[in-house]
Structure 1
């Protein structure tokens, strides 16, 4: 089972500002990710640059439309992620409890953890066309 641990953006991350204890935070994050890697559950992890460096593609009104960042609501954005593969929801929950505070000790912030769909999920749900993903992962 794969899970994505998402770090919610803040006004500071959107401004490209790092917390005052950034060195300590970076060391804690590195240690956490090293522990994930040693346990064999880390698939990927990275921080994301502010939304001002990105864009969205909007669909629904004819041709897709590109909208450049930044975006107004930082609380709806992701500042980083960690992708893990574990045996159970409980194991993912345990790893997420150990995730260092991504904004620094004592700062208010939030991470969100969600499971990724697997091919087998689509098959159980009888989603038409799922066989295309087996042919071309």
Structure 2
């Protein structure tokens, strides 16, 4: 089972990264945790995200597209980083997150969401769509 693990943003993460001994310690601890994930064959990808002030959103309404510049309100709803993990089940993902060092200086949250697999759409999508998806995955893995 693949899951996306979201590190939720905080006021500190939205201010951006400023050099400090605390930040260095946090990076060292997170680096060790990431090494454990890689050694266990769990981590497929992961990165931190710059503050929403450097981001954009595109709002869709039918054929209309509206670009919205950051920063975005509701910091607690923003994502500051992510991992893509391959785990046995949600319980394993939760156990890994519980071992994670706090990704922020103060209180923080990590959200775990299962990723749809083509098998979840059995009987809904055509064999052509399944084949197209498999072809795209192969191309990505060849990179």
Please classify the TM superposition score into its range, dividing by the shorter chain length: 0.7 to 0.9
Alignment size in residue pairs: 133
Secondary structure of the structure 2 residue equivalent to 1:21: helix
Task: Tell me what 2:70 maps to.
Answer: 69
Unaligned regions of 5+ residues in structure 1, if any?
none
TM-score by length of 1: 0.87
The TM-score normalised by the length of structure 2 is 0.84
- Which residue of structure 2 aligns with residue 135 of structure 1? 132
Superposed CA offset, 1:12-64 (max 9, x none): 11111457611111111000000000011110010000111111111115421
SS, match of residue 64 in structure 1: strand
Distance between the aligned counterparts of 1:99 and 1:89, measured in 2?
15
Q: Which runs of 5+ in 2 are unaligned?
A: 137-143
The match for 1:9 is 9
SS of the residue corresponding to residue 46 of structure 2 reads: strand
Greater helix content: 2
Whether contact under 8 Å (1:2, 1:85) holds in the other structure is yes
